[in-house]
A = this chain, B = another copy of it.
Amino acid sequence: MLSSSKSYAYEMLLSELTWAVGEDYVQTGDSDKLGHSIDYYWVPEVWHDRGRQLTPPDFIIQPGSSQEVAAVLKIANNYSIPVTPWGGGSGSQGGALPIRGGIILDMKRMNRVLDIDTVSLSATVEVGINAQHLEWAIEKAGYSTMHFPASIACATLGGFIAHRGTGVLSTKYGKMEDMVMSLEVVTPQGEIINTLPVPRHASGPDLTQLFLGSEGTLGVVTKATIKIHPIPQSRKFHAFLFRTMHDAMLAGSRIMTSRLRPCVIRLYDEPETAKLVKRVLGIDKKGAYLVFGFDGQEKIVDLEMEEACDICSSFDHEDLGAEMGQTWWNNRYKFFYPPYMFHMPQAFGTLDTVATFANIENVYWAMKNVVEQNFPQATFIGHFSHWYEWGCMLYARFIIDNPPADANEAVALYNKIWDMAIRAAIKAGGVINEHHGVGLKLGRIMKDLYGPAFKILQDIKQTLDPNNIMNPGKMGFKG
């Protein structure tokens, strides 16, 4: 943070930034600063909720072009001032918080769809575009991005690229790293580069996959070419209830390892089936609820569905039919809105972890045990989303209805749960995490997660951003 807005150094910098992007696109008002000091991470939320002071940015800059982004980064290097890119502000990991003050680079002005290639099925867009607006634009052309995360209404494409986001149909259509074909990036030193135009090649390391997931620490992604897909002729769902989560996991993993290709599988543990599936979907059953869907040519969908149902039927099950599967799809976003979503004053965290099928249940039990045994005031629930040929993601959550009133005590408790749960997950073979990102929340765990390999990331960060201006203090990099 600049020491004072009253010094002339502040005015020197402000006038340079204003020259670079135009005076309409530099904000310094208190309410603008507040709106860019807090995201969907629980820690700044509770901090603000308890009347405590957040760390504001000094400037909110809204660049209109890659060239303007480059100009801002060059200025920031000259002044050694932090730059933190900002998309929808809907991140849950604190990745966009300006924890060292400086510049918030609000990317939402860069929201144009530049090209839709209906021969290769791709679209080139500025990444400040809201994900729902992007989907609407692609649908108007007769296609779909097939990226449907719960945050679609508020998040930007750039946000998803920053932290490798995943949508509900990822099991067939992939996550952000599968969807992106190529990137334009402004490097920390203000050079505009493009990664290779196609995502599969044999021309060296994959730079696209270096910037994907770098969360604004290695530069600013400004444009992306993404895949688009035809609207499938048919999309069908089916639900089963299993006596145990273990049986349901065996069924789900067998669907994947038999190389069927559902667009989605979701498996709720017994507590979440009893709690949320009942409350949101009105399905009042004891056991583990499993839903899956297929899409594509209807005749092929029907065969795949038949095959998947055969797999499920080989376990102790209740066939809930297509209707109770479709119900889930129709209500898939409902889980994330009031009154079903957790909210203040509750403390809650999503212990998003991904692992192989051999490890994923161990991860579940390791986290559940450590949370329930050490924090009796916490409820632990979980479901498994985003399935792969080799494993799946555990969307586990802890909820505390009445966390401490004192902000420091509340944050200390919150961090303690995280610290214990994620180390238990890593020990059981889990990778924290699958689609929420690292940000501020999980930066502390990067050294444990990567081991000696973290040095590689640190070296790359150091060489690409020698003045450490890009989103300092995130992802375990120094602040």
Contacts and interface: CB of A to CB of B under 8 A. Distances in A.
Contacts of A193: 451-453, 455-456
Contacts of A377: none
Contacts of A192: 452
A280 B121 CA distance: 35
Interface string A160-204: 000111100000000101000100000100011111111111111
Given A194-B451, A300-B300, A453-B195, A201 B121 contact: no
Nearest to A476: B204
Contacts of A456: 187, 193, 207, 210, 464
A446 B203 contact: yes
A202 B434 contact: yes
A46 to B, nearest CB: 23
Interface string A453-479: 101110110111000000000010000
Interface string A54-74: 000000000000000000000
Contacts of A357: 119-121
A197 B211 CA distance: 20
A210 B299 CA distance: 41
A213 B207 contact: no
Given A117-B356, A357-B119, A446 B297 contact: no
Contacts of A296: 259
A205 B201 contact: no
A389 interface: yes
B175 A200 contact: yes
Nearest to A393: B200
A354 B253 CA distance: 34
B164 A202 contact: yes
Contacts of A191: 452, 455
Contact of A177 (B206, B358, B453): B206
B202 A435 contact: yes
Contacts of A122: 356, 390
A358 B117 contact: yes
B196 A431 contact: yes
B356 A229 contact: no
Contacts of A434: 200-202
A198 B165 contact: no
A162 B352 CA distance: 32
A413 interface: no
B303 A307 contact: no
A201 B177 CA distance: 9
Given A193-B455, A194-B451, A259-B296, 19 more contacts: A120-B356, A164-B200, A164-B201, A175-B200, A191-B452, A194-B453, A195-B453, A196-B449, A198-B388, A202-B437, A202-B438, A203-B432, A203-B442, A204-B457, A205-B210, A205-B212, A210-B210, A230-B257, A460-B463
